[in-house]
Structure 1
Amino acid sequence: MEDNNTEQNEAMLLFADISGYTQFVKKHGFEWAHGQYIISEFLKSLLNEIKEPFKVAKLEGDAIFIYMPESDHIRAAIFMDNILNFFKAFENTKNKLESVNTCKCKSCCSLDSLHLKLIIHSGKILFYNINQYQELSGLDVIMLHRLSKNSVKGKKYILITEQAFNKIGSLNDLEFIRGKEKYDEIGEIKTFIHYPNIKLNENLIYVKKPLRIIKIFFKIKLLFYSLIKVMN
């Protein structure tokens, strides 16, 4: 039997989820090699924004499960700046892909249907190991994932549970709407919703390289993903 730590730890839990992913897959199944490339680019842009004290718990298809040990002092302004950086990275990546896209397949022409939603909760987690893999468990982990399916109107938003909102502290610079979700076996969860208004970075990375070269590179990547699909 594995010798696992049974001590529960307090942590901030985050779930960065690409909304519109399921419909994106259903509509563009025949061109999914290109679709997977697009999703991978979005996930990589989000992973690049995850810095200490944030840690990646797991990649989950179209989402990233992130946590931050609560032993690290939470400063509201810095915390939210880091959170908003996820949205900036996502929107800048979308803008990049749209600007260099030369493919007319349905996947490549449907970039605008994809958005980022971020779920934030605070609670207890338990670390345990299965062979070489580390997993996180606990009721609060379940709650975080349940909250990704909610009644919020909109595709791009931050949902923070009341429990996490109180831990973060003052967020006077941002406008939040009170809400609540209800789940069987969990009950009612009070929430705060923020709809970020992200301005794109107009001085994107690509000004350093001729656009024609970027478009050629984009085509090569799409071809590479298509070949992998054929070989599999």
Structure 2
Amino acid sequence: MAQTNATILIPDISGFTAFMTTTELDHSSHAINLLIDEILTAVGDEYDVSEIEGDAVLLIKKGPAPAKKEILNICLKIFNAFHFRRMWIQRYTVCPCKACQSISNLTLKFVVHHGPLAEIKVGHFTKQSGLEMIVAHRLLKNDIENHEYLLITEKLLQQEADASETEDMEWTISSSEYDSIGKVDYRFTMLNGLRKLVPEPPAPSVFYRTDTTPYHEVKIAASVRDVYMTFVMNMANRAEWVPGLQKVEQDIPEVFIGSVHRFTFDDYEAIISPRRMTITEDGFIYAESCQITAMNLSLIYEYVFKEINEKTSCFRYRFMNASESTLTNDVNATLLERLGQMAEGFRKYCEGIVEFDL
């Protein structure tokens, strides 16, 4: 069994357990995956990814212990990327589920340790093990009364002198006692105050020109939330109910404000992009842009999802001209006819679903 000295770095998403158990499983998992991806992008090739542990990433860097300043730099890089992405999801989401709406409650902490690790190879996989790996994971449970901090063990720090570049951080000396391990000494510095320094993502462009175009509506025998989630969050499935729609292609599977979805119809192509989502007292308002280049059309489709009761909702819809040119009566009539066919197909689709797979 091969042994090597290595630095163990564990970014851990705090609040993960409560987040996963009190929100929709599919969407909470999806949100966590986006944040984990952001952590991995920030790490780059500075550390090797040993394992993804649900709410944490196990990172390994073989060789001597890094300087305290180096550790601080990589952790702050991850911290900033994590919170930038978290704020971006909050601003650009069109999903009203508890997971996407409560993502602001997630925080990030770090544990950094150094020592000899053993490598166990099982098939094509290599797993790091040993006492120091156990120590690092045990340190995720400690007496620090905060959920955003950087913890570095004294065992690591003893190998490097403190750098003057880290003196502006307030470090606290502490320790924790663990069964079968004993006392582990470490220092930690709080990071929650640094959230304020994370640059905010740009606000999405949600403005569009409205007019007095009337709404049309249909009643759907399904809950307002299921109707909304089916229509908006499962955009690739619209070919199931939109007449003439052959397929939907998109660069990413997620649906956000500004995401691009290419709709291929029998006789034309359209680019659909979400513009805004508003949660109301009894439902949701959602709008998306539609560009049909071959017809020189620029449209805004606006949809209102309103709860009638727990098992019935009202689906209201309209389109508005987003270009400077005037739509002819024939074009208006054709668009309205197709929109009505879509609404009727959507109603039948929703009422034919027993369980929504979202």
Q: Is the 8 A contact 1:53 1:69 kept in 2?
A: no
Counterpart in the other structure of 2:94: 102
- TM superposition score normalised by structure 1: 0.83
Equivalence map 1:169-184=2 (5 Å): 169-170=161-162, 171-184=166-179
- For 1:151, what is the secondary structure of its paired residue? coil
Please identify which structure carries the higher strand content.
Answer: 2
What SS does structure 1 have at the residue aligned with 2:60? strand
Alignment partner, residue 17 of structure 1:
12
Alignment of 1:116-127 (within 5 A): 116-127=108-119
Q: Match of 1:190? A: 185
1:38 alignment partner, one of 20, 31, 40: 31
Structure-2 separation of matches of 1:168 and 1:50: 22
Partner of 1:55: 48
Matched-pair contact (CA < 8 Å) for 2:52–2:58 = yes
1:150 aligns to what?
142
Q: Which has the higher contact order (CA 8 A, sep 6+)?
A: 1
Report the 3-state secondary structure (helix = DSSP H, G, I; strand = E; otherwise coil) of the residue aligned with 1:77: helix
Letter of the 1:22 partner, please give it.
Answer: T
Higher helix share: 1
Cα-to-partner distance string for 1:89-132 (whole Å, 9 max, x where unaligned): 11101110111123222112211211111111111101120011
Partner of 2:79: 87
Q: Secondary structure at the match of 2:43?
A: coil
Identity %: 25
Residue deviations 1:51-100, cap 9 Å, x none? 334111111111100011124x7343333211111110111011101111
Query: 189, 199, 202: which one pairs with 1:201?
Result: 199
Aligned equivalents of 1:200 and 1:100: distance in 2?
17
Matched, 1:140 2:132: yes
Matches of 1:67 and 1:168, distance apart in 2: 18
Counterpart AA for 1:109: Q
User: Following the alignment from structure 1 to structure 2, what is the Cα–Cα distance between the partners of residues 166 and 87?
Assistant: 25
Change (3 A) 1:98 1:188: same
In the alignment, structure 1 residue 159 sits paired with structure 2 residue 130: no
Unaligned runs of 5+ in 1: 1-5, 221-228
Partner of 1:226: none
Distance 2:159 2:79 in 1: 22
For residues 117 and 101 of structure 1, the distance between their equivalents in structure 2, rounded to whole angstroms, comes to: 25
Is the contact between residue 117 and residue 128 of structure 2 (CA under 8 Å) also seen in structure 1? yes
C-alpha distance in structure 1 between counterparts of 2:104 and 2:357, whole Å: 29
Listed as ranges, the gaps of 5+ residues in structure 2 are 208-254, 261-272, 275-354
Cα distance in 1 between the residues matched to 2:66 and 2:72: 10
Deviates more, 1:137-146 or 1:53-62: 53-62
Which residue identity is paired with 2:41? N
Contact 1:50 1:56 in 2 (8 A): no
Aligned length: 213
**1:164-184 CA distances to partner (integer Å, 9 max, x unpaired)?**
222343132321111111110
Q: Among residues 59, 65, 70, which one is paired with 2:58 in the alignment? A: 65
Instruction: Note closer, same or farther for the CA distance 1:116–1:104 as it changes in structure 2 (3 Å cut).
Output: same
Structure 2 residue 215 is matched with structure 1 residue 215: no
Task: Output the aligned Cα RMSD.
Answer: 2.5
Distance 1:48 1:168, change over 3 A: farther
- Greater Rg, structure 1 or structure 2? 2
1:143-173, CA deviations, whole angstroms, 9 ceiling, x for partnerless residues?
A: 1111111111111111111112223431323
* Runs of 4+ off more than 6 Å: none
Cα gap change, 1:132 to 1:231, in 2 (>3 Å): farther
Q: Do the aligned residues in 1 keep the contact of 2:7 with 2:113 (CA within 8 Å)?
A: yes
